[in-house]
Structure 1
Amino acid sequence: MNRVEKSKETYMQLFGETVPAAYSTDPDFQDILSRFIFGEVFHQGHLDHKTRELITLVVLATNQTLPQLKAHVHAALNVGLTPVEIKEAVYQCAPYLGFPKTLNAVAEINEVFHARDIALPLEGQSRVTEETRFDKGLAAQTELFGDVIAKMRESAPAGQQHIQDYLSSFCFGDFYTRGGLDLKTRELLTFCILSALGGAESQVKAHVRGNVNVGNDKETLIAAVTHCLPYMGFPRTLNALACINEIVPEN
Protein backbone atom coordinates (compact mmCIF):
# COMPACT_ATOMS: atom_id res chain seq x y z
CA MET A 1 0.00 0.00 0.00
CA ASN A 2 1.08 3.59 -0.57
CA ARG A 3 0.97 6.11 2.27
CA VAL A 4 -2.49 7.37 1.34
CA GLU A 5 -3.94 3.87 1.56
CA LYS A 6 -1.99 3.17 4.76
CA SER A 7 -3.27 6.36 6.36
CA LYS A 8 -6.88 5.47 5.64
CA GLU A 9 -6.49 1.94 6.99
CA THR A 10 -4.67 3.05 10.15
CA TYR A 11 -7.11 5.87 10.81
CA MET A 12 -9.99 3.41 10.53
CA GLN A 13 -8.33 1.08 13.07
CA LEU A 14 -7.87 3.95 15.51
CA PHE A 15 -11.00 6.04 15.09
CA GLY A 16 -13.50 3.99 13.10
CA GLU A 17 -15.77 5.65 10.55
CA THR A 18 -15.42 9.18 11.92
CA VAL A 19 -14.28 11.95 9.57
CA PRO A 20 -11.92 14.61 10.97
CA ALA A 21 -13.70 17.93 11.38
CA ALA A 22 -10.80 19.72 9.69
CA TYR A 23 -11.82 18.24 6.33
CA SER A 24 -14.72 20.70 6.21
CA THR A 25 -12.46 23.75 6.75
CA ASP A 26 -8.81 22.79 6.09
CA PRO A 27 -8.76 19.73 3.84
CA ASP A 28 -5.23 20.28 2.51
CA PHE A 29 -3.83 20.55 6.03
CA GLN A 30 -5.75 17.47 7.18
CA ASP A 31 -4.40 15.47 4.23
CA ILE A 32 -0.83 16.44 5.15
CA LEU A 33 -1.47 15.50 8.79
CA SER A 34 -3.20 12.19 8.11
CA ARG A 35 -0.80 10.98 5.46
CA PHE A 36 2.26 11.84 7.53
CA ILE A 37 1.07 10.56 10.92
CA PHE A 38 -1.03 7.57 9.90
CA GLY A 39 0.55 6.77 6.53
CA GLU A 40 4.23 7.15 7.48
CA VAL A 41 5.08 7.63 11.16
CA PHE A 42 2.77 4.86 12.39
CA HIS A 43 4.63 2.43 10.15
CA GLN A 44 8.18 3.47 11.03
CA GLY A 45 9.88 1.05 13.40
CA HIS A 46 8.57 -2.05 15.13
CA LEU A 47 6.26 -0.58 17.79
CA ASP A 48 2.75 -2.02 17.91
CA HIS A 49 -0.37 0.15 17.88
CA LYS A 50 -0.90 -0.23 21.62
CA THR A 51 2.57 1.10 22.44
CA ARG A 52 2.14 3.90 19.92
CA GLU A 53 -1.11 5.01 21.51
CA LEU A 54 0.41 4.97 25.00
CA ILE A 55 3.22 7.19 23.69
CA THR A 56 0.71 9.48 21.99
CA LEU A 57 -1.29 9.84 25.20
CA VAL A 58 1.68 10.86 27.36
CA VAL A 59 3.03 13.32 24.78
CA LEU A 60 -0.41 14.92 24.37
CA ALA A 61 -0.70 15.12 28.16
CA THR A 62 2.74 16.74 28.31
CA ASN A 63 1.69 19.27 25.68
CA GLN A 64 -1.71 19.77 27.37
CA THR A 65 -3.37 19.35 23.97
CA LEU A 66 -6.48 18.02 25.63
CA PRO A 67 -8.97 17.75 22.74
CA GLN A 68 -6.50 15.54 20.87
CA LEU A 69 -5.84 13.58 24.06
CA LYS A 70 -9.52 12.82 24.40
CA ALA A 71 -9.67 11.57 20.80
CA HIS A 72 -6.70 9.30 21.40
CA VAL A 73 -8.23 7.83 24.55
CA HIS A 74 -10.95 6.52 22.24
CA ALA A 75 -8.27 5.29 19.84
CA ALA A 76 -6.36 3.60 22.65
CA LEU A 77 -9.47 1.68 23.67
CA ASN A 78 -10.19 0.84 20.03
CA VAL A 79 -6.79 -0.84 19.56
CA GLY A 80 -7.20 -2.94 22.69
CA LEU A 81 -5.56 -1.04 25.53
CA THR A 82 -7.28 -1.58 28.85
CA PRO A 83 -8.63 1.29 30.95
CA VAL A 84 -5.97 0.49 33.56
CA GLU A 85 -3.14 0.73 31.01
CA ILE A 86 -4.46 4.09 29.79
CA LYS A 87 -4.77 5.50 33.30
CA GLU A 88 -1.37 4.20 34.37
CA ALA A 89 0.36 5.76 31.36
CA VAL A 90 -1.01 9.18 32.25
CA TYR A 91 -0.41 8.74 35.99
CA GLN A 92 3.25 8.15 35.02
CA CYS A 93 3.37 11.78 33.86
CA ALA A 94 2.85 13.23 37.34
CA PRO A 95 6.47 13.33 38.58
CA TYR A 96 7.55 15.14 35.41
CA LEU A 97 4.60 17.41 34.60
CA GLY A 98 3.31 18.02 38.12
CA PHE A 99 -0.14 17.21 39.43
CA PRO A 100 -2.24 20.01 37.84
CA LYS A 101 -1.39 19.07 34.24
CA THR A 102 -1.73 15.39 35.01
CA LEU A 103 -5.13 15.97 36.57
CA ASN A 104 -6.19 17.86 33.43
CA ALA A 105 -5.34 14.79 31.38
CA VAL A 106 -7.03 12.43 33.85
CA ALA A 107 -10.23 14.48 33.61
CA GLU A 108 -10.29 14.01 29.82
CA ILE A 109 -9.79 10.27 30.23
CA ASN A 110 -12.62 10.09 32.75
CA GLU A 111 -14.99 11.84 30.33
CA VAL A 112 -14.25 9.23 27.67
CA PHE A 113 -14.63 6.38 30.17
CA HIS A 114 -18.00 7.73 31.30
CA ALA A 115 -19.12 8.07 27.66
CA ARG A 116 -18.11 4.45 27.02
CA ASP A 117 -19.72 3.12 30.23
CA ILE A 118 -16.42 2.19 31.87
CA ALA A 119 -17.04 2.12 35.61
CA LEU A 120 -14.86 4.27 37.85
CA PRO A 121 -12.83 4.08 39.97
CA LEU A 122 -10.72 1.35 38.39
CA GLU A 123 -9.10 -1.37 40.45
CA GLY A 124 -6.20 0.05 42.46
CA GLN A 125 -2.70 -0.69 41.22
CA SER A 126 -0.58 0.38 44.18
CA ARG A 127 2.08 -2.16 45.14
CA VAL A 128 3.67 -0.31 48.06
CA THR A 129 2.77 0.71 51.58
CA GLU A 130 3.83 3.72 53.61
CA GLU A 131 6.54 1.51 55.09
CA THR A 132 7.84 0.05 51.79
CA ARG A 133 7.51 2.85 49.21
CA PHE A 134 11.01 4.22 49.79
CA ASP A 135 12.83 0.88 49.70
CA LYS A 136 10.90 -0.40 46.68
CA GLY A 137 11.37 2.89 44.89
CA LEU A 138 15.09 2.88 45.55
CA ALA A 139 15.27 -0.70 44.26
CA ALA A 140 13.51 0.36 41.04
CA GLN A 141 15.88 3.32 40.67
CA THR A 142 18.89 1.08 41.11
CA GLU A 143 17.56 -1.43 38.59
CA LEU A 144 17.28 1.38 36.05
CA PHE A 145 20.43 3.37 36.77
CA GLY A 146 22.78 1.18 38.78
CA ASP A 147 25.41 2.43 41.21
CA VAL A 148 24.99 6.06 40.13
CA ILE A 149 21.94 6.32 42.43
CA ALA A 150 23.94 5.59 45.60
CA LYS A 151 26.61 8.06 44.51
CA MET A 152 23.98 10.71 43.76
CA ARG A 153 22.41 10.26 47.16
CA GLU A 154 25.79 10.45 48.92
CA SER A 155 26.78 13.63 47.09
CA ALA A 156 23.52 15.53 47.67
CA PRO A 157 24.30 18.92 49.29
CA ALA A 158 23.22 19.58 52.84
CA GLY A 159 19.59 20.62 52.91
CA GLN A 160 18.79 18.84 49.63
CA GLN A 161 18.70 15.21 50.71
CA HIS A 162 14.91 15.37 50.85
CA ILE A 163 14.81 15.79 47.06
CA GLN A 164 16.71 12.52 46.63
CA ASP A 165 14.33 10.89 49.10
CA TYR A 166 11.35 12.17 47.13
CA LEU A 167 12.82 10.81 43.91
CA SER A 168 13.09 7.36 45.47
CA SER A 169 9.81 7.23 47.38
CA PHE A 170 7.50 9.36 45.22
CA CYS A 171 8.71 9.18 41.62
CA PHE A 172 9.88 5.58 41.73
CA GLY A 173 8.11 4.16 44.77
CA ASP A 174 4.64 5.56 44.17
CA PHE A 175 4.66 5.25 40.37
CA TYR A 176 7.26 2.89 38.90
CA THR A 177 6.19 0.05 41.20
CA ARG A 178 2.51 0.22 40.27
CA GLY A 179 0.71 -2.54 38.40
CA GLY A 180 -0.89 -2.12 34.99
CA LEU A 181 2.32 -1.43 33.05
CA ASP A 182 5.67 -3.18 33.24
CA LEU A 183 8.95 -1.42 34.00
CA LYS A 184 10.12 -1.39 30.37
CA THR A 185 6.93 0.35 29.26
CA ARG A 186 7.03 2.90 32.08
CA GLU A 187 10.63 3.75 31.31
CA LEU A 188 9.93 4.13 27.58
CA LEU A 189 7.01 6.44 28.34
CA THR A 190 9.16 8.48 30.73
CA PHE A 191 11.73 8.96 27.96
CA CYS A 192 8.95 10.25 25.68
CA ILE A 193 7.53 12.57 28.35
CA LEU A 194 10.93 14.12 29.02
CA SER A 195 11.68 14.43 25.30
CA ALA A 196 8.40 16.29 24.78
CA LEU A 197 9.04 18.65 27.69
CA GLY A 198 12.00 20.37 26.07
CA GLY A 199 14.93 21.69 28.08
CA ALA A 200 15.28 18.41 29.97
CA GLU A 201 18.13 16.95 27.95
CA SER A 202 20.12 15.89 31.03
CA GLN A 203 17.17 13.84 32.20
CA VAL A 204 16.55 12.51 28.68
CA LYS A 205 20.13 11.20 28.58
CA ALA A 206 19.73 9.57 31.99
CA HIS A 207 16.58 7.83 30.83
CA VAL A 208 18.20 6.70 27.60
CA ARG A 209 20.58 4.80 29.88
CA GLY A 210 17.67 3.59 31.99
CA ASN A 211 15.86 2.28 28.93
CA VAL A 212 18.90 0.40 27.70
CA ASN A 213 19.41 -1.08 31.17
CA VAL A 214 15.90 -2.57 31.20
CA GLY A 215 16.06 -3.88 27.63
CA ASN A 216 14.73 -1.11 25.38
CA ASP A 217 17.37 -0.97 22.66
CA LYS A 218 18.41 1.96 20.48
CA GLU A 219 16.07 0.89 17.68
CA THR A 220 13.14 1.02 20.10
CA LEU A 221 14.12 4.47 21.37
CA ILE A 222 14.44 5.82 17.81
CA ALA A 223 11.05 4.35 16.90
CA ALA A 224 9.53 5.95 20.01
CA VAL A 225 10.97 9.41 19.39
CA THR A 226 9.98 9.17 15.73
CA HIS A 227 6.43 8.49 16.86
CA CYS A 228 6.59 11.61 19.06
CA LEU A 229 7.62 13.81 16.12
CA PRO A 230 4.17 14.83 14.80
CA TYR A 231 3.08 15.79 18.31
CA MET A 232 6.16 17.65 19.58
CA GLY A 233 7.85 18.89 16.39
CA PHE A 234 11.33 18.61 14.91
CA PRO A 235 13.38 20.68 17.42
CA ARG A 236 12.54 18.49 20.41
CA THR A 237 12.75 15.35 18.29
CA LEU A 238 16.22 16.25 17.07
CA ASN A 239 17.31 17.08 20.62
CA ALA A 240 16.10 13.67 21.80
CA LEU A 241 17.84 11.91 18.91
CA ALA A 242 21.08 13.70 19.83
CA CYS A 243 20.71 12.40 23.39
CA ILE A 244 20.18 8.83 22.11
CA ASN A 245 23.19 9.06 19.82
CA GLU A 246 25.41 10.47 22.56
CA ILE A 247 24.56 7.71 25.03
CA VAL A 248 24.28 4.85 22.51
CA PRO A 249 26.67 5.73 19.66
CA GLU A 250 26.58 3.90 16.35
CA ASN A 251 28.80 0.84 16.16
Structure 2
Amino acid sequence: MAHEDLYANIIENDSEFVEVFDSFAFGEVLENTNLDNRNRMIVIISSLIANQAIKPFKIMVEDALKDDILTPIELKELTYQSFPYVGFGKAFDFLEVLNDIFEENDIELPLDGQSTTTKEDRWQKGYEIQCSFFGKEQIDEMRKASPDDQIHFQDFLSGYCIGDFYTREGLSNQDRELITFSIIATLGGCENQLRGHTAGNLSVGNDKDVLIGAVTVLCPFIGFPRTLNALAIVNEIAGKLD
Protein backbone atom coordinates (compact mmCIF):
# COMPACT_ATOMS: atom_id res chain seq x y z
CA MET A 1 0.00 0.00 0.00
CA ALA A 2 1.44 3.38 -0.98
CA HIS A 3 1.96 5.90 1.79
CA GLU A 4 -0.20 8.37 -0.10
CA ASP A 5 -3.17 6.03 0.31
CA LEU A 6 -2.88 6.27 4.09
CA TYR A 7 -2.92 10.03 4.41
CA ALA A 8 -4.06 11.33 1.02
CA ASN A 9 -6.38 13.87 2.66
CA ILE A 10 -3.52 15.47 4.59
CA ILE A 11 -1.23 15.56 1.56
CA GLU A 12 -3.96 17.22 -0.46
CA ASN A 13 -5.17 19.72 2.11
CA ASP A 14 -2.16 20.35 4.36
CA SER A 15 0.78 20.39 1.98
CA GLU A 16 2.56 23.19 3.83
CA PHE A 17 2.42 21.25 7.09
CA VAL A 18 3.63 18.04 5.40
CA GLU A 19 6.61 19.94 3.99
CA VAL A 20 7.47 21.43 7.39
CA PHE A 21 7.12 18.14 9.29
CA ASP A 22 8.98 16.01 6.76
CA SER A 23 11.79 18.56 6.59
CA PHE A 24 12.15 18.46 10.37
CA ALA A 25 11.51 14.80 11.21
CA PHE A 26 13.29 13.25 8.22
CA GLY A 27 15.78 16.01 7.47
CA GLU A 28 17.02 18.17 10.33
CA VAL A 29 16.52 15.47 12.98
CA LEU A 30 18.42 12.84 11.01
CA GLU A 31 21.30 15.25 10.52
CA ASN A 32 21.67 15.40 14.30
CA THR A 33 21.64 11.72 15.26
CA ASN A 34 24.17 8.94 14.80
CA LEU A 35 21.58 6.17 15.16
CA ASP A 36 21.69 3.69 12.31
CA ASN A 37 18.55 3.01 10.26
CA ARG A 38 17.70 -0.11 12.23
CA ASN A 39 17.79 1.54 15.65
CA ARG A 40 16.02 4.59 14.29
CA MET A 41 13.20 2.39 13.02
CA ILE A 42 13.03 0.55 16.36
CA VAL A 43 12.70 3.86 18.21
CA ILE A 44 10.02 5.27 15.89
CA ILE A 45 7.86 2.14 15.72
CA SER A 46 8.01 1.72 19.50
CA SER A 47 6.94 5.32 19.97
CA LEU A 48 4.08 4.99 17.50
CA ILE A 49 2.65 2.08 19.47
CA ALA A 50 2.80 4.09 22.70
CA ASN A 51 1.24 7.04 20.87
CA GLN A 52 -1.60 4.89 19.45
CA ALA A 53 -0.63 6.05 15.95
CA ILE A 54 -1.87 3.17 13.80
CA LYS A 55 -1.58 4.78 10.34
CA PRO A 56 2.03 5.93 10.81
CA PHE A 57 2.75 2.50 12.36
CA LYS A 58 1.60 0.86 9.12
CA ILE A 59 3.83 3.15 7.07
CA MET A 60 6.93 2.47 9.16
CA VAL A 61 6.38 -1.28 9.34
CA GLU A 62 5.92 -1.49 5.58
CA ASP A 63 9.10 0.55 5.07
CA ALA A 64 11.00 -1.67 7.51
CA LEU A 65 9.94 -4.79 5.59
CA LYS A 66 10.43 -3.33 2.13
CA ASP A 67 13.94 -2.07 2.88
CA ASP A 68 14.94 -5.14 4.95
CA ILE A 69 15.59 -2.97 7.99
CA LEU A 70 13.73 -5.25 10.40
CA THR A 71 12.69 -8.86 9.95
CA PRO A 72 9.15 -10.10 10.58
CA ILE A 73 10.31 -11.76 13.80
CA GLU A 74 11.97 -8.54 14.99
CA LEU A 75 8.80 -6.57 14.26
CA LYS A 76 6.65 -9.15 16.03
CA GLU A 77 8.97 -9.20 19.05
CA LEU A 78 9.01 -5.39 19.17
CA THR A 79 5.23 -5.38 19.30
CA TYR A 80 5.15 -8.07 21.98
CA GLN A 81 7.69 -6.05 23.98
CA SER A 82 5.29 -3.12 24.15
CA PHE A 83 2.55 -5.01 26.02
CA PRO A 84 3.95 -4.75 29.58
CA TYR A 85 4.50 -1.00 29.17
CA VAL A 86 1.46 0.29 27.30
CA GLY A 87 -0.95 -2.44 28.36
CA PHE A 88 -3.11 -4.90 26.45
CA GLY A 89 -5.79 -2.35 25.62
CA LYS A 90 -3.37 -0.14 23.70
CA ALA A 91 -1.09 -2.76 22.18
CA PHE A 92 -3.62 -5.34 20.97
CA ASP A 93 -4.74 -3.47 17.86
CA PHE A 94 -1.13 -3.07 16.72
CA LEU A 95 -0.58 -6.82 16.89
CA GLU A 96 -3.64 -7.36 14.73
CA VAL A 97 -2.50 -4.67 12.25
CA LEU A 98 0.96 -6.24 12.11
CA ASN A 99 -0.50 -9.62 11.26
CA ASP A 100 -2.58 -8.02 8.51
CA ILE A 101 0.54 -6.40 7.05
CA PHE A 102 2.36 -9.73 7.12
CA GLU A 103 -0.49 -11.43 5.30
CA GLU A 104 -0.58 -8.65 2.69
CA ASN A 105 3.14 -9.23 2.12
CA ASP A 106 2.76 -13.04 1.88
CA ILE A 107 4.65 -13.64 5.14
CA GLU A 108 3.53 -17.00 6.49
CA LEU A 109 1.94 -16.96 9.92
CA PRO A 110 2.37 -17.94 12.65
CA LEU A 111 6.05 -17.06 12.83
CA ASP A 112 8.51 -19.36 14.55
CA GLY A 113 8.22 -19.24 18.34
CA GLN A 114 10.90 -17.37 20.28
CA SER A 115 10.18 -18.39 23.87
CA THR A 116 13.05 -19.81 25.97
CA THR A 117 11.28 -20.19 29.33
CA THR A 118 8.74 -22.44 31.02
CA LYS A 119 6.10 -21.61 33.60
CA GLU A 120 8.44 -23.10 36.17
CA ASP A 121 11.56 -21.02 35.42
CA ARG A 122 10.22 -17.75 33.98
CA TRP A 123 10.30 -15.92 37.33
CA GLN A 124 13.84 -17.01 38.20
CA LYS A 125 15.17 -16.08 34.77
CA GLY A 126 13.39 -12.75 34.92
CA TYR A 127 14.81 -12.03 38.36
CA GLU A 128 18.30 -12.87 37.15
CA ILE A 129 17.95 -10.46 34.22
CA GLN A 130 16.66 -7.74 36.54
CA CYS A 131 19.70 -8.20 38.78
CA SER A 132 22.00 -8.11 35.76
CA PHE A 133 20.47 -4.94 34.31
CA PHE A 134 19.66 -2.96 37.44
CA GLY A 135 21.79 -4.47 40.19
CA LYS A 136 20.89 -7.26 42.62
CA GLU A 137 21.06 -4.94 45.62
CA GLN A 138 18.49 -2.57 44.12
CA ILE A 139 16.10 -5.36 43.06
CA ASP A 140 16.32 -7.06 46.46
CA GLU A 141 15.75 -3.73 48.21
CA MET A 142 12.61 -3.15 46.13
CA ARG A 143 11.30 -6.54 47.15
CA LYS A 144 12.24 -6.00 50.80
CA ALA A 145 10.52 -2.60 50.88
CA SER A 146 7.28 -3.96 49.40
CA PRO A 147 4.43 -4.62 51.87
CA ASP A 148 3.28 -8.23 52.04
CA ASP A 149 -0.02 -7.41 50.33
CA GLN A 150 1.85 -5.75 47.41
CA ILE A 151 4.76 -8.13 46.83
CA HIS A 152 2.87 -9.65 43.92
CA PHE A 153 3.65 -6.53 41.89
CA GLN A 154 7.36 -7.25 42.30
CA ASP A 155 6.66 -10.83 41.24
CA PHE A 156 4.80 -9.50 38.19
CA LEU A 157 7.82 -7.40 37.23
CA SER A 158 10.19 -10.36 37.49
CA GLY A 159 7.95 -13.00 35.98
CA TYR A 160 5.85 -11.20 33.38
CA CYS A 161 7.51 -7.91 32.49
CA ILE A 162 11.03 -9.38 32.36
CA GLY A 163 10.76 -13.15 32.52
CA ASP A 164 8.16 -13.56 29.79
CA PHE A 165 9.63 -11.01 27.36
CA TYR A 166 13.31 -10.23 27.89
CA THR A 167 14.11 -13.94 27.78
CA ARG A 168 12.72 -14.33 24.28
CA GLU A 169 14.92 -14.68 21.22
CA GLY A 170 14.54 -12.50 18.14
CA LEU A 171 15.85 -9.29 19.72
CA SER A 172 18.97 -8.50 21.74
CA ASN A 173 19.02 -7.04 25.24
CA GLN A 174 20.10 -3.75 23.67
CA ASP A 175 17.08 -3.84 21.34
CA ARG A 176 14.64 -4.58 24.13
CA GLU A 177 15.95 -1.88 26.43
CA LEU A 178 15.90 0.67 23.59
CA ILE A 179 12.28 -0.28 22.84
CA THR A 180 11.34 0.07 26.49
CA PHE A 181 13.13 3.42 26.81
CA SER A 182 11.37 4.76 23.70
CA ILE A 183 7.95 3.63 24.91
CA ILE A 184 8.34 5.07 28.42
CA ALA A 185 9.71 8.38 27.09
CA THR A 186 6.71 8.57 24.76
CA LEU A 187 4.17 7.82 27.48
CA GLY A 188 5.38 10.65 29.70
CA GLY A 189 4.65 10.86 33.42
CA CYS A 190 6.85 7.83 34.03
CA GLU A 191 10.04 9.60 35.04
CA ASN A 192 11.06 7.10 37.73
CA GLN A 193 10.67 4.23 35.30
CA LEU A 194 12.56 6.18 32.64
CA ARG A 195 15.42 6.70 35.09
CA GLY A 196 15.53 2.97 35.73
CA HIS A 197 15.53 2.04 32.07
CA THR A 198 18.06 4.73 31.22
CA ALA A 199 20.37 2.95 33.66
CA GLY A 200 19.27 -0.38 32.17
CA ASN A 201 20.20 0.79 28.67
CA LEU A 202 23.61 1.94 29.84
CA SER A 203 24.19 -1.40 31.58
CA VAL A 204 23.51 -3.43 28.41
CA GLY A 205 25.67 -1.29 26.13
CA ASN A 206 23.37 1.43 24.80
CA ASP A 207 25.64 4.33 25.76
CA LYS A 208 24.73 7.98 26.27
CA ASP A 209 25.22 8.77 22.57
CA VAL A 210 22.69 6.08 21.65
CA LEU A 211 20.14 7.44 24.12
CA ILE A 212 20.61 11.04 23.01
CA GLY A 213 20.22 9.79 19.44
CA ALA A 214 17.00 8.05 20.44
CA VAL A 215 15.63 11.17 22.12
CA THR A 216 16.55 13.19 19.03
CA VAL A 217 14.63 10.80 16.77
CA LEU A 218 11.68 10.78 19.18
CA CYS A 219 11.35 14.56 19.30
CA PRO A 220 8.99 15.08 16.32
CA PHE A 221 6.88 12.12 17.40
CA ILE A 222 6.46 12.90 21.12
CA GLY A 223 6.75 16.71 21.24
CA PHE A 224 9.20 18.95 23.02
CA PRO A 225 7.99 18.69 26.66
CA ARG A 226 8.49 14.92 26.80
CA THR A 227 11.65 15.19 24.70
CA LEU A 228 13.26 17.66 27.09
CA ASN A 229 12.17 15.62 30.13
CA ALA A 230 13.75 12.49 28.64
CA LEU A 231 16.92 14.37 27.74
CA ALA A 232 17.24 15.69 31.29
CA ILE A 233 16.93 12.16 32.68
CA VAL A 234 19.55 10.79 30.28
CA ASN A 235 21.94 13.54 31.36
CA GLU A 236 21.12 12.94 35.03
CA ILE A 237 21.63 9.18 35.02
CA ALA A 238 24.62 9.15 32.67
CA GLY A 239 26.22 11.89 34.77
CA LYS A 240 25.95 9.78 37.92
CA LEU A 241 27.71 6.91 36.20
CA ASP A 242 30.57 8.97 34.72
TM range (shorter): over 0.9
Picking from 161, 173, 177, the partner of 1:183 is 173
Question: Runs of 5+ in structure 1 lacking a partner?
Answer: 1-14
CA distance in 2, matches of 1:44, 1:111: 34
Picking from 47, 51, 60, the partner of 1:63 is 51
CA distance in 2, matches of 1:89, 1:23: 29
The answer to whether the 8 A contact 1:54-1:76 is kept is: no
What percentage of residue pairs aligned between the two structures are identical? Answer: 45
Name the structure with the higher helix share: 2
How far the C-alpha of 1:23 sits from its partner, in A, is 2.8
SS of equivalent residue, structure 2 residue 164: helix
CA distance in 2, matches of 1:39, 1:246: 28
Matched, 1:239 2:210: no
CA distance in 2, matches of 1:33, 1:85: 28
How far the C-alpha of 1:246 sits from its partner, in A, is 1.3
In the other structure, the counterpart of 2:116 is: 127
The answer to whether the 8 A contact 1:92-1:175 is kept is: yes
TM-score (ref. length: structure 1):
0.90
How far the C-alpha of 1:43 sits from its partner, in A, is 3.4
In the other structure, the counterpart of 1:47 is: 35
Specify the code of the residue in structure 2 equivalent to 1:237.
T
The answer to whether the 8 A contact 2:123-2:155 is kept is: yes
The answer to whether the 8 A contact 2:4-2:11 is kept is: no
CA distance in 2, matches of 1:183, 1:79: 23
1:1-251 equivalent positions in 2, closer than 5 A: 21=8, 22-80=10-68, 81-146=70-135, 147-249=137-239
How far the C-alpha of 1:110 sits from its partner, in A, is 1.2
The answer to whether the 8 A contact 1:85-1:181 is kept is: yes
Distance 1:176 1:17, change over 3 A: closer
Specify the code of the residue in structure 2 equivalent to 1:143.
S
The answer to whether the 8 A contact 1:205-1:247 is kept is: yes
SS of equivalent residue, structure 1 residue 175: coil
SS of equivalent residue, structure 2 residue 98: helix
Specify the code of the residue in structure 2 equivalent to 1:240.
A
Tell me how large the CA RMSD over aligned residues is: 1.7
Matched pairs, number = 237
The answer to whether the 8 A contact 1:53-1:75 is kept is: no
The answer to whether the 8 A contact 1:91-1:175 is kept is: yes
Could you give the per-residue CA deviations for residues 219-245 of structure 1, whole angstroms, max 9, x where no partner exists? 110000111111111011011011111
How far the C-alpha of 1:249 sits from its partner, in A, is 2.3
Could you give the per-residue CA deviations for residues 4-33 of structure 1, whole angstroms, max 9, x where no partner exists? xxxxxxxxxxx9896863332211111111
